[in-house]
Structure 1
Amino acid sequence: MIPAPFDYIRPTSLEEACRVLAEADSSGEDVKVLAGGQSLLPLLRLRLAYPSALVDLGRLAELRGVEDRDDHVFIGALTTHDEVLRSPVVRERTPLVALATATVADPAVRHRGTFGGSMAHADPAGDLPAVALALDCVFVVRSGEGEREIPAAEFFVDYLESALEPGEVLLGVRVPKLGPGWGFHYEKFHRTAQAWAIVGVAAAVRRDGGIIGEARIALTNMGPTPVRARAVEDALRGLSSAPTGGDGAQPAGGDGAHDPVRDACGQADSGTSPPADLHAKPDYRRHLARVLTHRAVRAASG
């Protein structure tokens, strides 16, 4: 289909972009920000979105790049998924971001789609919002009135709705470095390699010897926003990272072995409201959440 008519604006500076967005907000215009366009352009073609103008941020080089800072890695909003994957800083300092980004769509999309665009789009079926939630990332935004920071727990408000206010531009995301002892995994179930996740699980697990000292679990496509699996996190704390038999001995294997970690992960769907669509019913997504969380925790805990 052909998009509805719109004006096209391509600022050459961040200040100009903030000014244009502020003027549009004050005049009541419906303006959309264009980053990589891999999510927005299909909506325009289907006329599910018909803004009066597009503000293309493509010329703002200051919004690109990865920086290794003291206690976090800063990823610019316009950094493409491919650039994130090729960054040694991301792979070494924030491996969960690299693991999830590698599952985003296909190479063509990853070369055009942007890290910040995926976050700002706030699609609960997207892979990266759950990672941001699990890692307690911080979103840095700017408007004509200055900068502010938004914790990931407050950034995703509703389906396709973020905490970005009209006139604000996402500068980038601060991804904390979790340090030694942490393991990471992103487990995703989807129909094809290019498809959205039916369910995904972002897991970060800290081991103290053979004991799980802390876990951070977030779920993809289990509600109108990414969901933090707090019940699983609480239940995992203090458990052995290895399955045990009924007498506490290491089992020889088999499905009958008692596994406290599996029991804890059985609470993954607690408090969720998974959608029903052509791909899966809510009860199937609940089942997937429990199974995939166990796989992700096992992989993250080694």
Structure 2
Amino acid sequence: MLPFNFAYYKPESIQEALELYQTLKVQGKTPLYYGGGTEIITLGRLNLIYADAIIDLKGINECKIFEVRNDELIIGSTVGLSVFEAKKLFPLLTDTTNEVADCTSRNKITIGGNICGRIFYREAVLPFLLADSTIITAGPKGIRKLLLSETFHKELQLEEGEFLVQIIIEKEYLHAPHLSIKKRKQWDTGYPLLTVTSLKKDGYLRFAFSGVCPYPFRSISMEEILNDQKLSYKDRVLASFEHLPNPILNDIEGSNDYRLFVLENTISAILSRLGGEEHE
């Protein structure tokens, strides 16, 4: 049970959703866009989120698409995470999302809900950061096509009343060599300690991280060092740590020192398995 009542709306078009949001705001309401709803329920029960109007985006066709078209993979924001396990069009995305929560939850969690959520892991964004993805958003300024790398800074920077419609990945990235490693302190489900994803493009390893800091990120500065074949794996990793964003998480899942220890071993394993040549 949520500690507040709300009105529920399910528009059938992007324009209807935008107009509905603005109308509700004029009426003094607090509307929220809704994809899967798991986070609204979780945070609502803790009194960390409030809405008296919910706008369900799952009735909008553009938000439900999941297909390759014109050499691009298009993923609608309301596609559930479990779909990526059944239809492996982007294997790195499947490998990254198939351990998010449990199977029942993945049937409800949507890709847009994970990326735009408030819980800091949001590991579903990592493959898209590595694949130079673009996003389609809809808001008061109309439909916008943006580079994800220019729009995601700790979180997806959406304007008031704007929502994520689609994510687009060029076909050349879909089956590139890749690896996703999720580390947990214990158990097979629940929140991870950290997640590291890597994709190899033109012989160059790209890295993105979740659970290291209070937000997911990709670091170009770290990548430059991690691809320096003049250094050993250990020296690369330790030198790359100088470019880690702050702060390093220190919570019930693990201390900051323990996270760095696990991160060092995880990155080294990726360098070895994806063929990052090591200096002798």
Q: Structure 1: give runs of 5+ residues left out of the alignment.
A: 208-212, 241-258
**Aligned counterpart, 1:119:** 115
Identity of aligned residues (%): 23
Q: Structure 2: give runs of 5+ residues left out of the alignment.
A: none
Q: After superposition, give the CA deviation of every residue in 1:144-190 in whole Å (9 maximum; x if it has no partner).
A: 542112322233344xx431112222111112334599410001112
Query: What secondary structure sits across from 1:49 in the alignment?
Result: coil
- CA shift for structure 1 position 142: 1.1
**Aligned counterpart, 1:295:** 269
CA distance 1:21–1:300, shift in 2 (3 Å)? farther
Query: What secondary structure sits across from 1:39 in the alignment?
Result: helix
CA distance in 1, matches of 2:63, 2:105: 19
Query: Is the contact made by 1:126 and 1:196 (CA closer than 8 Å) also made in structure 2?
Result: no
Query: Is the contact made by 1:126 and 1:197 (CA closer than 8 Å) also made in structure 2?
Result: no
CA distance 1:155–1:195, shift in 2 (3 Å)? farther
- CA shift for structure 1 position 114: 0.8
Residue 232 of structure 2: which of 247, 250, 260 is its match? 260
CA distance in 2, matches of 1:235, 1:8: 50
Deviates more, 1:282-291 or 1:260-269: 260-269
CA distance in 2, matches of 1:163, 1:13: 23
CA distance in 1, matches of 2:175, 2:156: 32
Query: 1:117-156, aligned counterparts within 5 Å?
Result: 117-121=113-117, 123-156=119-152
Aligned-CA RMSD value = 2.5
Count of aligned residue pairs for this structure pair = 273
**Aligned counterpart, 2:159:** 165
CA distance in 2, matches of 1:46, 1:95: 35
Residue 235 of structure 1: which of 201, 211, 225 is its match? 225
Letter aligned with residue 18 of structure 1: L
CA distance 1:199–1:107, shift in 2 (3 Å)? same
In the alignment, does 2:126 pair up with 1:102? no
Letter aligned with residue 232 of structure 2: P
**Aligned counterpart, 2:58:** 58
Q: After superposition, give the CA deviation of every residue in 1:35-57 in whole Å (9 maximum; x if it has no partner).
A: 11122211112211112221112
In the alignment, does 2:194 pair up with 1:199? yes
- CA shift for structure 1 position 216: 0.7
- CA shift for structure 1 position 268: 4.5
In the alignment, does 2:40 pair up with 1:40? yes
Query: Is the contact made by 1:66 and 1:87 (CA closer than 8 Å) also made in structure 2?
Result: no
Letter aligned with residue 110 of structure 2: T
Residue 282 of structure 1: which of 253, 256, 263 is its match? 256
Deviates more, 1:64-73 or 1:79-88: 64-73
Query: 1:172-211, aligned counterparts within 5 Å?
Result: 172-178=166-172, 182-190=176-184, 191-206=186-201
Query: Is the contact made by 2:228 and 2:236 (CA closer than 8 Å) also made in structure 1?
Result: no
Query: What secondary structure sits across from 1:197 in the alignment?
Result: coil
**Aligned counterpart, 1:67:** 67
CA distance 1:296–1:142, shift in 2 (3 Å)? same
Higher Rg: 1
CA distance 1:50–1:238, shift in 2 (3 Å)? closer
CA distance 1:129–1:170, shift in 2 (3 Å)? same
CA distance in 2, matches of 1:82, 1:181: 19
Letter aligned with residue 79 of structure 2: T
- CA shift for structure 1 position 134: 2.1
Letter aligned with residue 118 of structure 1: N
CA distance in 1, matches of 2:27, 2:160: 11
- CA shift for structure 1 position 5: 2.2
CA distance 1:135–1:267, shift in 2 (3 Å)? farther
**Aligned counterpart, 2:206:** 216
Query: What secondary structure sits across from 2:99 in the alignment?
Result: coil
CA distance in 1, matches of 2:237, 2:103: 32
CA distance in 1, matches of 2:175, 2:55: 43
Query: What secondary structure sits across from 2:50 in the alignment?
Result: coil
Query: Is the contact made by 2:194 and 2:209 (CA closer than 8 Å) also made in structure 1?
Result: yes
Q: After superposition, give the CA deviation of every residue in 1:205-235 in whole Å (9 maximum; x if it has no partner).
A: 246xxxxx31110110222321223343212
CA distance in 2, matches of 1:294, 1:277: 24
Query: What secondary structure sits across from 1:187 in the alignment?
Result: strand
CA distance in 2, matches of 1:193, 1:7: 37
